[in-house]
Structure 1
């Protein structure tokens, strides 16, 4: 019996994409993609999600790639421009779950502690969660098992009675190893179908 549903935020409920900002800097799409793939990489960004300060992360890259200093500094000074809109179809599913009154709702997100307040201020629906565990605040991130355990312990959630929704398959595998039933998110329509199939919706 599922009584708790745990949502990832980025790419599930909230649209965040560095392309939005960097397209205003680079005239060439391939040049932009190469910069993001080789300089401000996902691995680099995940260190800030895991608790490294934005200032420290920025200075490390500036030292490595001084020729890209201005574009590196733009990553966090113009971070707001990377934060898109909500994925409202998924938000509607979240609202139905909330309105049903049957489930405890939580979020488990890889997100910098310094930028997450901007998302909280922008998206009112984040207040629907009973709790949100933010990787940057905990200084660890998915798929580290201990990060999931923080949510389970802090909010007295039973793994076997919970359902986890995330777009990243590595995070799904980590949750399932802890006994948490999981859905690999691809889009809201597929999520709705899966939730109906298991009688959650």
Structure 2
């Protein structure tokens, strides 16, 4: 039996935010608040990751915003800024990862897919803005499907839609929870930390040379 480094992959599946695209709400809220402490407090207790993920799972931006304002009316303007100024959270493409994606495309050996937790209302803006997204053979967006990582059904949706064999796929994500979810579905995975680390992992797996 082949060892992990010699495994033959047919499909490589990327997460997008913080892997290929630099998205961070701090880029916006550091403009709004006067201190890092205020920024972190707001993102930890008001516009939390869990709240944002409900929009990623298909809840409308309007509904999510208004529900949160009803709970924190004193923060209404700052809450509305989350999606009203959403593009100010974008730091651009992560060039090192884009280069690796292009190298993988150039080999002609792999099908390339993206599996992303992203609101269906904001994703079209990213699709227009970032050319690297055109390199994928398919993109599955949680907000469109009303499912999200790490739900096993969301990984399976991509596998079924594009006829990908889980045993011949590799998944890349910066979130350990999502990596564990993929591995539970039988998909070999890499926990992304930075492009250099990813490059080394791909070389170790004999995907790049």
How many residues align? The count is 201
Find the aligned partners of 1:11 and 1:121 in 2 and give their Cα distance: 18
Q: TM-score when scaled to structure 1? A: 0.99
**How far apart, in 1, do the equivalents of 2:200 and 2:206 lie?**
10
Q: Spell out, residue by residue over 1:121-174, the C-alpha distance to the aligned partner (whole angstroms, 9 max, x if none).
A: 110110110100000000010000000011000000000010000000111111
Query: Is 1:130 matched up with 2:137?
Result: yes
Aligned residue number for residue 115 of structure 2: 108
Shift of 1:28: 1.7
| Residues 1:173 and 2:180 aligned together | yes
* Equivalent in the alignment of 1:81: 88
Partner of 2:22: 15
**Residue 44 (1) aligns with residue 45 (2):** no
User: Aligned to 1:60, which of 61, 67, 71?
Assistant: 67
**Alpha-carbon distance in structure 2 between the residues aligned to 1:174 and 1:157:** 17
Task: Return 5+ residue gaps in structure 1 as ranges.
Answer: none
Q: Does 1:163 align with 2:170?
A: yes
Aligned partners of 1:149 and 1:83: how far apart in 2? 29
Distance 1:18 1:178 in 2: 30
Cα distance between partner residues in 1 of 2:71 and 2:32: 20
Please list every run of at least 4 consecutive aligned residues from structure 1 whose deviation after the TM superposition is greater than 3 angstroms: none
Counterpart in the other structure of 1:191: 198
Superposition TM-score, scaled by structure 2 size = 0.95
**Cα offsets for 1:12-61 (capped at 9, x unmatched):** 00001111111111112211110111000000000000000000000010
* RMSD of aligned alpha carbons: 0.6
Distance of 1:177 and 1:33 partners within structure 2: 32
Q: Which structure 2 residue ranges, 5 or more long, are not aligned? A: 1-7
Residue 81 (structure 2) pairs with residue 70 (structure 1): no
